[in-house]
């Protein structure tokens, strides 16, 4: 991931930036009760949930700096309701529950997690395009209403408005969650696992989908929130655009032609943006399982190890709810309501 190119790091204070690589606390003796491997959003959220549940001493280890992986390059949108058009119901339920948890964390953690409440508007180039699957939270906008909200649109379009979604700087959220932990070690990799008894056989198919993003220089053009598929209004009058799905591109480098096509798309939609500069450009990889649902499970064959993976395009959103599921499972031996939906072995089961 080319997180160095993302805007998120520059939005942090110098102390928060340093905290991503510094670690803190001391390693519990003789060993931690809970060891969390991986300091992306899932790891820090899971560690925070376990610590809060009072399960025992918690140590988080991260091979590089916190947020080095997909987390530091994500768009940071927390938008469960629009996902009703694309995600299966159990996933949307998890997303909704998780947005509520993000809101609780915003209230509860010192300084909050940097959550910004924001409206989402989906533009429908084909009139009535969304109507067949209209979720209850949606307000349908006629072209005149869309024009009032987004002056300067090149094409007259209907729209779907969903209020009170959210966005977050993923790295700020990581620093705020990590600050609440007793012990964080960065630059420390898990290099092996010793199993007592049977051999561990764990095979979960996965791939990754690259995405490019850009942030513009500040502009006087104001969008009324997240305008899909054009851009999201962020701090300092900047626009955040992209989130491409570059299937098959395994090159970790930013492809200038993809960035150019994102910027071209912005200008085609809003011609007034012609000539606006690009301040940040980056790419990263979404972790994905074949059915696009995450794994949230106890490691098959073991009774003291759990894993979560493959959160694809909603891992930032889903981190607090996933963490809560894991913490409850670990502390109270209580698996999630529909364990099969998230199981690590579902890929090896015969279909049907």
Ligand X SMILES: Cc1cc2nc3c(=O)[nH]c(=O)nc-3n(C[C@H](O)[C@H](O)[C@H](O)COP(=O)(O)OP(=O)(O)OC[C@H]3O[C@@H](n4cnc5c(N)ncnc54)[C@H](O)[C@@H]3O)c2cc1C
Binding interface with ligand X (CB under 6 A): 37-43, 61-64, 68-71, 73-77, 189-190, 211, 213, 243, 284-287, 311-317
State in angstroms the smallest separation of the CB of 73 from ligand X: 5
Residues pairing with 59 in the sheet? 35
Classify strands 158-167 and 77-78 as parallel, antiparallel or unpaired.
antiparallel
DSSP 8-state code for residue 325: H
Q: How far is CA 334 from the centre of its chain?
A: 25
Structure tokens that stand for 205 in this block: 């198919």
To the nearest whole angstrom, how small is the minimum distance from the Cβ of residue 120 to ligand X?
11
**Least Cβ distance, residue 208 to ligand X (angstroms):** 8
The closest of 349, 342, 274, 261 to 308, measured between CA atoms, is 342
CB of 17 to ligand X, least distance (A): 16
In the complex, minimum distance from the CB of residue 189 to ligand X, in angstroms, rounded to a whole number: 4
CA distance 144 to 190: 56
Helices (H), the chain: 14-22, 41-53, 89-108, 143-149, 170-179, 256-269, 315-332, 339-342
CB 64 within 8 A of CB 184: no
Complex with ligand X: residue 77 or 146, whichever CB lies closer = 77
Q: Which is nearer to ligand X, 154 or 200 (CB)?
A: 200
Nearer Cβ to ligand X (58/158)? 58
Q: How many CA atoms lie within 13 A of 147 on its CB side?
A: 7
State which residue, 281 or 341, has the beta carbon closest to ligand X.
281
Nearer to ligand X, 193 or 268 (CB): 193
User: CB of 245: closest distance to ligand X in angstroms?
Assistant: 9
Judged by beta carbon, residue 225 or residue 315, the one nearer ligand X is 315
Distance between start and end Cα atoms, the chain: 37
């Amino acid at each position: 991931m080319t997180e160095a190119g993302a805007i998120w790091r520059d939005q942090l204070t110098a102390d928060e930036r340093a905290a991503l690589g510094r670690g803190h606390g001391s390693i519990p003796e003789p060993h931690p009760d809970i060891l969390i491997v991986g300091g992306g959003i899932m790891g820090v959220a899971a560690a925070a949930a376990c610590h809060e549940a009072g399960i025992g001493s918690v140590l988080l280890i991260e091979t590089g700096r916190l947020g080095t992986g997909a987390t530091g390059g994500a768009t940071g949108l927390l938008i469960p309701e629009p996902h009703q058009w694309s995600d299966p119901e159990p996933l949307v339920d998890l997303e909704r529950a998780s947005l509520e948890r993000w809101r609780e964390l915003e209230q509860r953690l010192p300084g909050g997690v940097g959550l910004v409440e924001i409206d989402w508007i989906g533009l429908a180039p084909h009139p009535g395009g969304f109507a067949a699957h209209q979720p209850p939270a949606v307000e349908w906008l006629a072209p005149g209403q869309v024009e009032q909200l987004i002056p300067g649109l090149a094409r007259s379009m209907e729209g779907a408005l969903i209020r009170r979604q959210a966005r977050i700087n993923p790295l700020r959220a990581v620093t705020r969650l990590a600050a609440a932990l007793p012990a964080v070690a960065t630059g420390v990799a898990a290099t092996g696992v010793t199993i007592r008894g049977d051999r561990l056989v764990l095979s979960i198919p996965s791939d990754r989908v690259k995405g490019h993003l850009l942030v513009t220089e500040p502009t006087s053009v104001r969008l009324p929130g997240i305008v899909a598929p054009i851009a999201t209004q962020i701090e300092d009058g900047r626009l955040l655009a992209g989130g491409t799905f570059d299937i098959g591109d395994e090159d970790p480098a930013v492809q200038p032609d993809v960035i150019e096509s994102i910027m071209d798309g912005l200008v085609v939609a809003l011609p007034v943006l012609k000539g606006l500069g690009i301040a940040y450009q980056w790419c990263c990889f979404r972790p994905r399982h074949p059915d696009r649902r995450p794994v949230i499970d106890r490691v098959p064959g073991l009774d003291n190890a759990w894993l979560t993976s493959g959160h694809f395009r909603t891992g930032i959103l889903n981190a607090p709810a996933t963490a809560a599921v894991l913490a409850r499972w670990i502390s109270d031996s209580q698996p999630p309501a529909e364990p099969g939906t998230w199981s690590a072995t579902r890929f090896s089961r015969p279909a049907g």
